[in-house]
């Protein structure tokens, strides 16, 4: 059974870069696609972006200028970098496995999530 685990700092200073890693176990990262999704406290879900094992990416247009998602197939992990963070980026960040083909896609395995707080 595939499992995902997020890791990274729980506190980031304003204007700095948020960096998170998702480690995939129980399956290879060299297939499917791999998402980051976030949820501000008490609010709904917001898709951040995804990366395919090939390295191609797709980002939320509202975050595109600040987001980079990368994959390291040798470590079976993928990562998120979000630059110039503000308090509005405070959220629980989830990584999730994407399944399906093309636009026919769904997220069938999720990590437990990690809370990142942006504060000085």
Partner 1 sequence: DIQMTQSPSSLSASVGDRLTITCRASQNIGSYLNWYQQKSGKAPKLLIYSASSLQSGVPSRFSGSGSGTDFTLSIRSLQPEDFATYYCQQTYSFHTFGQGTKLE
Using CB under 8 A as the criterion, which residues of the chain lie in contact with partner 1 when the complex forms?
35, 44-47, 50, 58, 60-61, 94, 96, 99-100, 103-108, 110-113
CB of 7 to partner 1, least distance (A): 15
CB of 49 to partner 1, least distance (A): 9
CB of 3 to partner 1, least distance (A): 11
Q: CB-wise, 29 or 33, nearer to partner 1?
A: 33
Using DSSP, state whether 43 is helix, strand or coil: coil
Using CA atoms, how far apart are residues 66 and 64, in angstroms rounded to an integer? 5
φ/ψ of 72, rounded to 5, equals -125, 95
CB of 92 to partner 1, least distance (A): 9
Q: CB-wise, 64 or 75, nearer to partner 1?
A: 64
Residue that is written with structure tokens 């990690």 in the block = 114
Q: What tokens appear for 82 in the block?
A: 């979000």
Q: CB-wise, 16 or 57, nearer to partner 1?
A: 57
Q: CB-wise, 45 or 87, nearer to partner 1?
A: 45
* 3-class secondary structure per residue, 59-107: ECCCCCCCEEEEEECCCCEEEEEECCCCHHHCEEEEEEEEEEECCEEEE
């Amino acid at each position: 059974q595939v499992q995902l685990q997020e890791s990274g700092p729980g506190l980031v200073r304003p204007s700095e870069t948020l960096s998170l890693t998702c480690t995939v176990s129980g399956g290879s990262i060299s297939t499917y696609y791999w998402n980051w999704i976030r949820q501000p406290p008490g609010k709904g879900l917001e898709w951040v972006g995804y990366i395919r094992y090939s390295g191609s990416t797709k980002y939320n247009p509202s975050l595109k200028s600040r987001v980079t998602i990368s994959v390291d197939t040798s470590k079976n992990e993928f990562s998120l970098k979000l630059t110039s963070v503000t308090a509005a980026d405070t959220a629980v960040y989830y990584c999730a496995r994407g399944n399906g083909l093309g636009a026919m896609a769904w997220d069938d395995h999720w990590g437990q999530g990690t809370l990142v707080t942006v504060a000085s």
